[in-house]
Each structure stands twice: as structure tokens, then as C-alpha cells.
Amino acid sequence: MGERVTQSRQGDISRASRLKKALDSGAPPSFVQPETVASPTNSACSERARDLRRPPVHLLGAAQGSEHRNAAPVHNAPLYGTSSFTTVAPNLYAMAGVEPKDVRVVQSYENFTGGVLMSLVEHGFFKAEEANDFLVPENLMAPTGPLPLNTSGGNLAECYMHGLELQLEAVRQVRGESSSQVPGADVSMVCSGPMVTPVSSLIFGSAATI
């Protein structure tokens, strides 16, 4: 219930913000405003990105996979109640060089509510037995919640663009451009496809994290 309430409110804010910008400019709403850099090295990309109109957002880490024998028939899988991030999340944090406490905002794919809950647990944000106490609207709402979730509304309340909108919102948060902006969002995470293996996660960071 907390997740649904949170995303409905933040989805309303996101849609209203896009419509206001369109009305003010006289142009149709724009969902994507890409600025890309093609370069053979990370350092060259970072140098070039500093010259763009908008702040650069860095991909700190990306991981994909699932647990051992996860594709076995459901009643034979070694881990029965899982969103399949138990091996992915540690690899993600190791690559990004951050910990759960460093992540300021999360965008999670919602194929099922239980999958979102298990994703957050398996990424280390709280323990399974703490879920009922943690997953309440005041903890998940921007700007003041300790872990704002799906701040543009997510699949439930923004659009069902198969998760691509979650990555756009994660970048907006790091840039400081979200309609439900989280202060100091230097690190943002995207969790994709819980319970449907292989799953994947991304961590984005601002220039301050490099």
C-alpha cells in the first residue's frame, strides 16, 4: 500500500510538471532530451561531458545475472522467495565503489509489488523482517524520505515503458531536474526485472562521485 500511494502522488507531480513546461513553451511534452558523448576512454568522456549544457551523469556500475539454478522449475529453485538479486547486488556495489547507505534514491521496476520489496531487501536497504516498518509513504516520498522510491511514478503511475522511464528518472535525479527532486542525490539506483531472470541493476553518480 505504501508503494502504491507513494508512486501515485509522485506520478501526478511528474505529469503535471511536464505539461506545465509544454504549455509554457508552446511545444509538445518532451520525454527524452539526449546529450551523448562518443569517446574511446572514460577520461575523455568526462572531459567532453563538462562542456555540455547539462551536468554529466556517470554510470558507476552495472550488473546482470541471477542465482545458481534460478531457471529450475519454480518449486525446485534453491532460493524460493527471491527477486534474483542476491548475487547481482554485491557485484554492482563492488563495481560502483559505493554501499547501500550511499544510494539516495531508487527507481525499481514493478512487475509485482512483492518483487519490489525483495529487490530492496536484496540490495541491502533493510532486512526482510523490517519491511513492514520501513515501507510506509513517509519513508518513500521525495524530498524528505530516507529512501525515495520511483519518484516519477514508476510503471504504476507514470507509464509502462518497460522500465526505460526508470533510467530517465534516475538520471534526472542526479542532475537535479526531477519534478520530485531529492536533495543531494549524487547516487541513484535502478533495479530492473525483479523475479524474472536474468535481472539487472544500474548505479548512476554525479561528478562528485568520480
How far apart CA 60 and CA 53 sit, in angstroms, is 21
**Burial (Cβ within 10 Å: 0-12, 13-18, ≥19) of residue 34:** exposed
- Residue 105 has what DSSP assignment? E
80 has catalytic annotation: no
Which of 160, 164, 208, 210 is the catalytic position? 160
How far apart CA 150 and CA 140 sit, in angstroms, is 8
Distances from the Cα of 172 to the Cαs of 40, 155, 164, 169, 184, in angstroms?
A: 25, 17, 13, 5, 12
Which of 109, 125, 126, 204 is the catalytic position? 109
**Enzyme catalytic residues:** 109, 160
